[in-house]
Amino acid sequence: MARALAVNGAAKVFIIGRREAALKETASSVPGGNIIPLVGDVTSKESLQACADQVRAHVSAIDVLIANSGVSGPPVPSVDQQQQPIPLSELAQNMWTPTPEAVTSTYAINVTGVHFTIAAFLELLDAANKKRPQPDSTTSVKPRPQIITTGSIAGFNRRSFGNFSYGPSKAAVIQLTKVLATTLVPYDIRANVIAPGLYYTEMTHDMYTAQGKTEIHNVEGTFDKAVVPATRSGDEEDMAGVVLWLCSRAGAYINGCVVVTDGGRLSVLPGTF
């Protein structure tokens, strides 16, 4: 997302994360020097406030806030290697094994972290509205500022994603964003969700490695249609297209929307949308 925005007209793209080396790697991956890394932790209000203050040192307003931090949560297997249900006693033991803190930390990052990230930057989004020119018949409409959260199709999928905390936390993020879309109408700030399906990322690396699909994940034919109708996973181009659409004039009329980018995977899963 950062790279897509940086090379397609964004004046400055601030990226926040706990690992400075990873941030700098992303910042140096595109020319122009307009990706600015900020070390921060979404589970700390003090850290988020410090990041917002650093952003204010560079700019007086922001046009989009992307709340993208997330963790998968502690594993709670419910099927065996053949994807068959395990004995109930084993399922009960698997559910009992994680500590309450481990389960709760999933929500602390995936939901509470989003809540406080938005709170930290809300006034900077409002400042963009105050600078927004009034449209007339000769000018193109400048999109209203917006919040984009990263949900997941796991928020709709009724099958376990290897545990019982990741999917529910993403369902909460999706609902939180819908509530914000309504709450922020008087302030002219939009809120939308991107809900990815199978994408190769640092978080999903082990899964792809176990299947031997790390290098070919985005090649058509890599996955059976029963897993992903597109027969591949999503890649950076797919995500870039979604985020550029939402942030550009083309997406200026989008508000309160969940954009599912999953190659059709939800179509072959039991779920609710």
Confidence of residue 272 (pLDDT cuts 50, 70, 90): confident
pLDDT category, 1, cuts 50, 70, 90? very high
Q: Which helix (H) or strand (E) holds 39?
A: strand 35-39
CATH superfamily of the 2-197+234-268 domain: NAD(P)-binding Rossmann-like Domain (3.40.50.720)
Task: Return d(Cα 73, Cα 167) in angstroms, integer.
Answer: 10
Closest C-alpha to 85, from 159, 12, 25: 159
CA distance 86 to 168: 21
pTM to 2 decimal places: 0.93
Residue type for 213, please?
A: K
Give residue 191's pLDDT band: very low, low, confident or very high (50, 70, 90): very high
Residue 98's pLDDT band (cuts 50, 70, 90): very high
Check pLDDT > 70 for residue 137. no
Q: What percent of the chain has pLDDT over 70?
A: 97
Q: How many helices (H) and strands (E) does the chain have?
A: 9, 6
Answer yes or no: is pLDDT of 81 > 80.
yes
Alpha-carbon span 44 to 117, nearest angstrom? 9
Distance from the first to the final alpha carbon of the chain: 25
Give the Cα separation of 25 and 29 in Å (integer): 6
| Length of the chain in terms of residues written | 273
With cut-offs at 50, 70 and 90, classify the pLDDT of residue 65: very high
What is residue 201's predicted lDDT score, i.e. its pLDDT? Answer: 87
Angle between helices 166-183 and 100-107 (to 10 degrees): 30
pLDDT bracket for residue 206 (50, 70, 90): confident
Which whole number is the average pLDDT over 191-220? 91
pLDDT for the residue numbered 142: 87
How far is the C-alpha of 65 from the C-alpha of 2, rounded, in Å? Answer: 11
What residue spans define the domains of the chain?
A: 2-197+234-268
